[in-house]
Structure 1
Amino acid sequence: MKTKIYEPNSALADFIKCYWTLESSLENTPKRNTIIPDGTMKLIFHYGDLYWHHPKDGKSFLQPRCFLIGQLTKPYIVEPVGETGTFVIRFKSNGFSPFTDIPIKEMENKPISLKKLFGDKGEKLEYDILNANNTDERIKIAETFLFALLKSKEVKDRIVNATIEVITKYKGQLSVNELSDRASLSRRILARKFSSNIGLSPKQLSKIVRLQASLKSLLDNENSNLTDLTYENEYFDQSHFIKDFKEFTGITPKEFYGEELKMSLIFDAKK
């Protein structure tokens, strides 16, 4: 399995976290992969074979070849059909809102076709990227497309952007009241701004950021001690940590630890 991360053009760095590719044979890819929420939205282009999505509360379906995956608030289980070849544009938490007129909240936990997002221009983008010769060409095509869209859109909300930076800096450990005080806004207004720009509430994003910090600690330090993880990430207690963990992964920390954890973070680009 090969993954590679690419930096965006500096003019798009306020919106795009990174580009990344994943290539793997069917034999080298686990049969099912649990993708956990990470607070970002992604444009995904499968130039290899497709993936099944297995919702826990619905019927399995084959995902489109190219689509946007909205904000995840629960585990998202996928299964490869064959050889993986995937190009991903990973946006920052509020990075995609300037590129669409569709309410961000309506995209939650679902794949959205490029046709629905961008009309005929989306279909052309899909064709051009799938027929590009390499990743550098795909990035150039994507950035040309996004630059053109950005010219006619408003820039990101500065208050939301600053609050995201605070959430990230403190690894999701601040309360919503503390975030509201720092932003000099009421909880209701801050929540409304987050919903329209990110598709998540400040509390949801904080929980996701804190869990991601816990997962990276598991992977980087190979530490499965729940007590250490609980206090390191400032959860109230182990039951609080396990509750949040199960909400976003579908299983307990001990069940998730191991190869499935590594696969999940690979799919989230480990960045």
Structure 2
Amino acid sequence: MFYKPHPALEPYIQGFVVVYATDAHVLYNIDLFPVGYGLLSFILSEQHQLISLNRSYNTRFNFTGQLDHYRLIKASSLSVIYVLFKPFGAYKLLGVPQHLLKNESIAMQDILGNAVNEVYAKLVDHADNPAKEVEILQEWLLSQLRDNNKIDTNRVSLACDLITESKGNISIQELNSLCCMSKSSMEQYFKDQIGVSPKMYSRIIRFNETKKILKEATNKSWIEIVENHGYYDQSHFIHEFKHFFGYSPSQIHLSFKNLAEHISSIKSV
């Protein structure tokens, strides 16, 4: 189920997604791949399992930062509320440099301390009412927006738009020129506000574009993708795809329980 954000949050949040568990006692392998933005999640189930990089997590209110490579996690089939940020939205609303959270899943209490205790308690009290929890999260994020009103993400927003419009194929030199920023300034802005470099973000956008093409047109020629999306050759394309997705392009059908893709499919409804 997808909920649109409050108009004031639309520049920074794509929306809220509620995913319901089917069997909370089963432990699944779940593929995670870079999508270009971070996720805030609240697990509705009090009893749950989440294992990543051989570490077990038992917190319910978490933030997952930008990913720059494929990750495999193990999790019970959880009922979860997700906040889908825009690429720079987490920086704007949380006020935390995003490179510190890259490739990490961290309890919100460890990020913002006691400041989230009140909202966490409200979420726990209404764990049986996802619509109410979305309302609680939205009210809290609106207060975060007011508190962080001096944080300016306009330049990075423009850069992200240009990268997306080019499907990840704009040169960094052209990007710097169009945004009127030096290379070092652009790198620092992306490091703080996005969590990855402009080059890595462009690679992630390009990968997601090629993955979308492969999913929608299974007979698409790899050679055509290589030529149209700026890969050096077919070997480069396959290497990039496996780095981000964990599977080769010909194995794309194997990732059936991909959490990021599941969220995306709900969001597109």
User: For 1:53 and 1:226, how far apart are their aligned partners in 2?
Assistant: 35
Tell me which residue corresponds to 1:186.
182
User: For 1:101 and 1:199, how far apart are their aligned partners in 2?
Assistant: 12
8 Å CA contact 2:27–2:49 kept in 1: the answer is: no
Tell me which residue corresponds to 1:11.
8
User: For 2:244 and 2:122, how far apart are their aligned partners in 1?
Assistant: 34
RMSD over equivalenced CA pairs, Å: 2.3
Q: Deviations over 1:57-94 (max 9, x none)?
A: xx34235222001111111212223x420100011000
5 Å-filtered alignment, 1:1-271, equals 4-26=1-23, 31-48=28-45, 49-55=47-53, 59-62=54-57, 64-81=59-76, 83-132=77-126, 133-153=128-148, 154-223=150-219, 225-255=221-251, 257-260=252-255, 263-270=258-265, 271=267
| Deviation beyond 6 Å, 4+ runs, structure 1 | 27-30
User: For 1:268 and 1:246, how far apart are their aligned partners in 2?
Assistant: 21
* Deviation of 1:152 (Å): 2.0
User: For 2:58 and 2:167, how far apart are their aligned partners in 1?
Assistant: 32
* Deviation of 1:196 (Å): 1.1
User: For 2:129 and 2:105, how far apart are their aligned partners in 1?
Assistant: 24
Over 3 Å counting, the alpha-carbon distance change for 1:228 and 1:262 in structure 2 is: farther
8 Å CA contact 1:104–1:197 kept in 2: the answer is: yes
Identity of aligned residues (%): 22
Q: Where do 5+ consecutive residues of structure 2 fail to align?
A: none
Q: Which amino acid aligns with 2:200?
A: Q
8 Å CA contact 1:129–1:138 kept in 2: the answer is: yes
Over 3 Å counting, the alpha-carbon distance change for 1:63 and 1:93 in structure 2 is: farther
Over 3 Å counting, the alpha-carbon distance change for 1:45 and 1:14 in structure 2 is: same
8 Å CA contact 1:50–1:64 kept in 2: the answer is: no
Q: Which amino acid aligns with 1:46?
A: I
User: For 1:213 and 1:30, how far apart are their aligned partners in 2?
Assistant: 30
For CA contacts below 8 A with separation 6 or more, give which structure has more relative contact order: 2
